Structure 1
Amino acid sequence: MNGPSSVETENLLSNQRTPPVQRPNPTSFDHDTSEILRIHQQWWKANVGLDIDSMQQCFPSGDAFSMFNRNGFTYFGVDELTKLWEHYSEGPPRLIQTVAVLRLVVGGDMAWLICELKYRRVSPVTSDDHWEPAGVDQVFGSKATEIYHRDDGNGNPEWRMWHFQSGALHSGEENRPAFDDAEQTNQLGHNPYGPPLTY
């Protein structure tokens, strides 16, 4: 069974929710914003193919990191996340995803970021191993919150992601309560940090 072409996939994954507005030049971001976006992009790129070495560099040492995973469970520390990824590496891979940063706020040594993404798997999976049920070439959406701290876990002033939370992105087939916007919510939100990135 043939899946969508690369052009169709890009169109499917990269739709934006709101009309374009003037965007700042990404090269003009201050150092902290640029560094946080670099870690954010490294994290999501690592999710495609489960690049464990690259993933580990995004988080503080020890068990300081916490995660509310999309599978419904909580994980503490990069070692637990590594074990989870080793487990998931035995299942079907995430082959393509597009991520849109909706908001990033930096204040002192703390920062938070929210994003939306759509991704595609090419193999059937089951809920028995805490994968979401899927068919061939089916696209899923997620939303995530990332909290950053200027501390590498050893007291060095280097940005790391200290908390991550992910949940399912609404399918968009229904309106949000109190809003008539089903058509818009079926697309990735507009972001001021450049176009959504596909990995």
Structure 2
Amino acid sequence: MTDRTSDEQRLLQLHHDWYYSNFNINIPLMRTVFPRGEENFLMFNLNGHPYFGVDDLADLWSYYARTGRWGLCADYVLRVEALGDLGYVLSEGTFPAWKVKDPDGNFLPDDQQRDLTLRYRSTEIYKRDDGAGQPEWKMWHFHCSTRPPDDEAPPAKTEHDAAGVRGLGNTPYSVGIRTEYKVGP
């Protein structure tokens, strides 16, 4: 990997904070990643639906906080780049989650609880704009989709190109960055 610019380091920190905020649904930390203003953020969520603005996302997370348990992602950055006032982060990983409660927050019987752990791939778009015109990096768009099993070879490629062989975050020309988390103080 090449040395990172201070802007790229900032994008990696926001990326870290975004994925860490998913752990046990930390809405205050999540809000620090996105711009202010309801029209300034658009997400294509892993659940398949769009969310418009950070308040819309906070409402979704409040629902998830009542119904699930959320672990730390095993996240690997494939690429980070800052170009002027725009930047992006591309990553892939595994997001552990379990549905353990109904929408009212009551625990489900054991036979109705579900492991929702997902393999994902994400694209994050950043602008050096806090939503109020101040030059502060914020994530303006997030798109997440499921990725195939780690042992599945992409069409027109061989089993050597499967994620489990190449290693998450790795590309033919670079080694990925593992997002490291520290739980607790």
Match of 1:72 among 48, 61, 75: 48
Maintained 8 Å contact 1:176/1:182: no
Shift of 1:122: 4.9
Residues 1:181 and 2:159 are matched in the alignment: yes
**Identical residues among aligned pairs (%):** 31
C-alpha distance 122-163 of structure 1, shift in aligned 2 (>3 A): closer
Alignment-mate amino acid for residue 32 of structure 1: D
Give the alignment's TM-score, normalised by structure 2.
0.80
Residues 1:150 and 2:118 are matched in the alignment: no
Aligned residue for 2:138, secondary structure, equals strand
Quick one: distance in 2 between partners of 1:60 and 1:117? 25
Shift of 1:59: 0.3
Q: Which has the higher contact order (CA 8 A, sep 6+)?
A: 1
Match of 2:118 among 134, 140, 145: 140
The equivalent of 1:195 in structure 2 is: 178
Shift of 1:139: 4.2
Quick one: distance in 1 between partners of 2:67 and 2:160? 33
Quick one: distance in 1 between partners of 2:44 and 2:10? 23
Where does 1:1-199 land on structure 2 (aligned, <5 Å)?
23-24=1-2, 28-63=3-38, 64-122=40-98, 135-136=114-115, 139-181=117-159, 184-186=162-164, 187-190=167-170, 192=175, 194-197=177-180
C-alpha distance 103-188 of structure 1, shift in aligned 2 (>3 A): same
Q: What's the C-alpha RMSD, in Å, of the aligned pairs?
A: 2.5
Q: Which one is further off, 113-122 or 151-160? A: 113-122
Aligned residue for 2:71, secondary structure, equals strand
C-alpha distance 154-72 of structure 1, shift in aligned 2 (>3 A): same
Unmatched segments (≥5 aa) in structure 1: 1-22, 127-132
Maintained 8 Å contact 1:150/1:160: yes
Maintained 8 Å contact 1:174/1:182: no
How many residue pairs end up in the alignment?
Answer: 167
Unmatched segments (≥5 aa) in structure 2: 103-111
Quick one: distance in 2 between partners of 1:173 and 1:181? 7
Cα deviation per residue 1:84-119 (whole Å; 9 max; x = unaligned)?
A: 100111112122321100011211100111100112
Quick one: distance in 2 between partners of 1:183 and 1:103? 18
Quick one: distance in 2 between partners of 1:180 and 1:35? 36
